[in-house]
Amino acid sequence: MGTAFQQKDSFVDRSAVRRSVRLSWEIKTLLPVVLALLNGVLLFVVATTSFADPERHAILLVAVIGALVICFVLIVTLALVIRRPMLELEDKIGRVSEGDLTATVEFARRNDELGDLGRNFNLMVRQLRESREEIERLHRTQMSRAEHLATMGEVAAGLAHEIRNPLAGIAGVMDIVGRDLPSTSPAREVLKDVREEVLRINRIVTDLLETARPKPPEFQFADLNATVEHAVIFARQQALSKAIKVHCIKSPDLPMVEHDTAQIHQVLLNLVLNAMQALDGPGTVTVTVEVRGGLAFVDVKDTGPGIPPEILPNIFRPFFTTKGHGTGLGLSLAKRIVEDHGGKLEVSSKVGHGTTFSMILPISRGNAAAAVAD
Ligand code: ADP
């Protein structure tokens, strides 16, 4: 009787089974009945003192045969009523565990507790089937979207690459033309504006290229104060016409920090330019470098309008922007670069008061876990 169970060992979790002698349920059911019957027969034998009396022999025989018939009827009934559906259920569970979610049990049509069990089993399998179909559908949709995005990324990367070369040429020509112009010429102002626009396009195109084809950081121990200061000077040049103050507070006791200077420069430039763009009118952007517990902290704090809480969860998503001319790539790229350095980019913002972005970098890559756990 235990063979059917043994055959399906592949889907039975034996680790959850108590360590005891394994008895099939039929034996467990019949054992008390058989014991009770034997007991009755024994009592009868003991109560009848003499075995020589043939009349008592006959009564004893009838009692034993009666007990055997009762046992037989019980076995047949149990086999028909319980054993068959149990075997079927076991077989269907095996099929389901092998991935066949079309399996249903026949005894679900019965109008008793076993029928209830069968109906519940069929319902469970149907729900599993529906969930699997839904997951497969979502997977197919996501795969085709991912393929589409990958193709778009390749196209964008190719396009960005093609645009950057002529842009560098245009910027070079601007420089040469600007140098030849008399210092009083009004065309100088126009050239400056055009040069700034060229730089802006170059930045957007670079962001696009880096999003589509991310480059791993080229680590070196370098002065993070200097990287931060360069980015601030670069950003200040774009704020000359506005009443925006950009302060840079360096850390006097910062050791050399292992980082890709070009990539961290790009992160800070994005953060400072975002802060400047957020200021609607006069305001202040303060960039602070600090060292604490083996980590370097660079905070970019502005006195702008802040970020509404409903927007905050989206700002690091690629292509999310609230600006008419924005690409929505700056922060997603910045986050990825900081994380590639084993660090973290965090934001805290209060509407009406301003926003602070905090870049946390490990001093050396050996400390990366501390930066992420902090
Ligand atoms: P983009 O600058 O092209 O919009 P980003 O990824 O750099 O793309 O920024 C995404 C969005 O995050 C911005 O459109 C803006 O809504 C918000 N944001 C970023 N920095 C600030 C800031 N300092 N203050 C307010 N909002 C900000």
pLDDT tens string 61-96: 777 787 778 778 887 887 777 888 889 999 999 999
Of 234-238, 254-258, 311-315, give the lowest mean pLDDT range: 234-238
Torsion angle of the four alpha carbons 80, 81, 87, 92, in this order, in degrees rounded to the nearest 10: 130
Cβ neighbours of residue 71 closer than 8 Å, sequence gap 6 or more? 30, 33, 34, 37
Find the length of the chain: 374
pLDDT recorded at residue 308: 96
And the tokens for 90? 């076991």
Is there an atom of ligand 1 within 6 Å of 208 CB? no
200: confidence class by pLDDT, cuts 50, 70, 90: confident
Is there an atom of ligand 1 within 6 Å of 321 CB? yes
Q: Which helix (H) or strand (E) holds 356?
A: strand 354-362
Distance CA 17, CA 92 (A): 21
And the tokens for 205? 């195109």
Q: Which residue has the tokens 């660079």?
A: 298
Stronger pLDDT, 149 or 53, i.e. the higher one = 149
pLDDT over threshold 80, residue 335: yes
Of 24-33, 103-112, 173-182, 289-298, give the lowest mean pLDDT range: 24-33
CA distances from 309 to 26, 266, 352 (A): 65, 26, 12
And the tokens for 44? 């009868």
Share of the chain above pLDDT 70, in %: 87
The arithmetic mean of pLDDT across residues 52-59, rounded, is: 69
Q: Do 321 and 368 contact (CB within 8 A), yes or no?
A: no
pLDDT, tens digit, for every residue of 266-286?
A: 999 999 999 999 997 789 999
pLDDT recorded at residue 341: 95
Of 40-44, 74-78, 165-169, 360-364, give the lowest mean pLDDT range: 40-44
Q: Ligand 1 atom closest to Cα of 275?
A: 23
Cβ neighbours of residue 374 closer than 8 Å, sequence gap 6 or more? 293, 295, 344, 360
Is there an atom of ligand 1 within 6 Å of 200 CB? no
Q: Ligand 1 atom closest to Cα of 321?
A: 14
Stronger pLDDT, 177 or 54, i.e. the higher one = 177
Is there an atom of ligand 1 within 6 Å of 228 CB? no
- Does the pTM surpass 0.85? The reply is no
pLDDT over threshold 50, residue 296: yes
332: confidence class by pLDDT, cuts 50, 70, 90: very high
Q: Count other Cβ atoms within 10 Å, centred on residue 5.
A: 14
Q: Which residue has the tokens 């997977």?
A: 139
20: confidence class by pLDDT, cuts 50, 70, 90: low
Q: Do 297 and 369 contact (CB within 8 A), yes or no?
A: no
Pocket test for ligand 1, best of 207, 208, 272, 274 (most atoms within 8 A of CB): 274
322 CA distance to ligand 1 middle (Å): 7
The protein residue whose alpha carbon is closest to atom 12 in ligand 1 is 315
pLDDT recorded at residue 278: 93
Distance CA 203, CA 260 (A): 18
C-alpha atoms less than 13 angstroms from C-alpha of 103 in its C-beta half-sphere: 19
156: confidence class by pLDDT, cuts 50, 70, 90: confident
Q: Which amino acid is it at 198?
A: V
